[in-house]
Amino acid sequence: MFRHSPILLSTDFTFHSFYAMKYALAFARSYHARLHIVHVIDAAPMLPWACPSHWMWWDSFHEKEECMCAKAATRLQYYMQVLGKEGVEVDYRVVRGKPATEIVRLAEELECELVVVGTHGRTGVEHTLMGSVAEEVARHSPAPVLTIKHPEHEFIEFWDGSVHLRRVLFPTDFSAYAQAVLPFAVSLCREFGANLVLMHVEEPPSYSSEFLPEVALALPSQLEKESREKMQRIAEDYPDLEVEVVSRTGPVVQRILEVVKDLEVDLVVQPTHGRSGVARILFGGVAGRVLRRAACPVLTVRPEMPAVRQTKDMEQAHTADHRTEEVGTAVK
């Protein structure tokens, strides 16, 4: 899936992004991929109209910005030297602009097949006020986005930095979006010998308990049975994998988070519709809430991206066979 394809790692030099670096390195080594590291200088907060109390002359502003770029380049050069010793081809870029916008632009420009970002996992008022670069990247990236929080359950071995996946959770609503992303979860399970956990959550109608109490009592078990049968039919398409089927009723995000903890899931692979603006405010987003709150790394995939079509073609071929700016110099 990601083999020999570029990987983009975004860093803001915080502990969260440093923690995400070991995931980028592990995947780059596993898939023999080139690793691009990017740091985005967002100078907008220093502009006079953004913060009048910290007003500075234009000359001072540009001097400060140049100093930030130089310091970032120095740190990235060090990262490049350290990672290069691990046998991975690495280069770096320092760019200026809005972080999420520049990360998405570079992912497309460099034709990356995976973007790795650290996230603070903000929730509630803090998330509403400050937003999340990781979520914005996940909604708009042309490549799948692996988001890493800390602390959380991890699947990178401490002693050798290798990928050790045991369970990959794929929540599905049986839509075309979900089916288009399933090959990513399947590919990861095959690559690293992990179990695939298919999960569906059904939210019963809220009015049934009030107007139809007898139906309300029987409905959850009936819905779970039907969804389990659908997932078992999906599992039959992957006889080479160990597939677990989990069916629940209730609040979708809450049930997914519960299963992540109960089964000690290593990675969640989920589709996103890529909503933004008013649509995201009105409808929220299961993907965004899982990304923020899951107790393990999350791989978010936009179904309409080119990589999905390519991976789906590879999956179909495998099934058929089974059945018959400033740029640093790269080092290695």
Nearest to 195 by CA among 264, 258, 261, 241: 241
Q: 6 to each of 88, 105, 332, how far by Cα in Å? A: 11, 14, 14
Residue 170 lies in a domain: yes
Which of 151, 170, 186 is where one domain is finished?
151
Are 84 and 175 within one domain? no
Distance CA 41, CA 95 (A): 6
Cα angle for residues 154, 75, 159 (degrees, 5° grid): 30
Task: Name which of 118-132, 179-193, 214-228 the model is least confident about.
Answer: 118-132
User: Is residue 283, in this structure, part of any structural domain at all?
Assistant: yes
Give the three-class secondary structure for 28.
helix
Q: Which domain holds residue 283?
A: 156-324
Q: How many domains in the chain? A: 2
Q: What is the DSSP letter of 156?
A: B
Q: Where is pLDDT greater, at 104 or 42?
A: 104
> Do 167 and 255 belong to one domain?
yes
- Reading the block at residue 153, the tokens are 């359950």
Q: What is the pLDDT of residues 204-238, one digit of tens each?
A: 666 555 555 555 555 667 888 899 999 999 999 99
> Among the three residues 101, 127, 151, which one is the final residue of a domain in this structure?
151
Q: What share of the chain is helix, strand, coil (3-state, %, to 5)?
A: 50, 20, 30
What is the tens place of the pLDDT at every residue in 251-271?
999 999 999 999 999 999 999
User: Could you tell me whether strands 326-327 and 298-301 are parallel, antiparallel, or unpaired per DSSP bridges?
Assistant: unpaired
Domain assignment present for residue 330? The answer is no
In a domain, 332, yes or no: no
pTM confidence score: 0.83
| 118 and 44 fall within a common domain | yes
C-alpha pair distances (Å), 284 with each of 8, 69, 199, 256, 274? 27, 36, 21, 16, 11
Considering the chain, what is the average pLDDT of its residues? 82
Poorest-pLDDT segment among 44-53, 99-108, 154-163, 296-305: 44-53
Q: Is residue 49's pLDDT more than 60?
A: no
Are 279 and 164 found together in one domain?
A: yes
